Amino acid sequence: MSLRLRRDITARDTGTGMVLLDERKGRYWQLNATGALVLRALLGGATPEEAAGRLAADRQVAPEQAAADVGALIERLTSVRLAEPLPRT
């Protein structure tokens, strides 16, 4: 499952990660560099497994931990309605 940001969410890179603006609520969300790495991968079409692989390689964490972290980020981003799964084609 790849992700896309909802239509009313704007993303901008920062020097330390990424900021997401929820234009509906005027609320900002900040991602650290690790969260930004994962989100960029997912927005670029990577599967959660591929994003976890990139995270494990880039941040030198165990693959199991990387997979859990990617899953937690996806859950959080979708639960607060910043992102949504891409429809399967």
Residue span of the structural domain in which 8 resides: 3-80
In a domain, 85, yes or no: no
Total domains present in the chain: 1
In a domain, 18, yes or no: yes
In a domain, 89, yes or no: no
In a domain, 86, yes or no: no
Which regions of the chain are under pLDDT 70?
Answer: 1, 88-89
> What are 58's two structure tokens?
């880039």
* Residue 44 to residue 77: CA distance in whole angstroms: 16
The fraction of the chain above a pLDDT of 90, given in percent, is: 90
What's the pLDDT at 77? 96
- The beta strands (E) that lie in the chain are given as 3-5, 9-14, 17-22, 27-32, 83-85
Task: Give pTM, 2 decimals.
Answer: 0.90
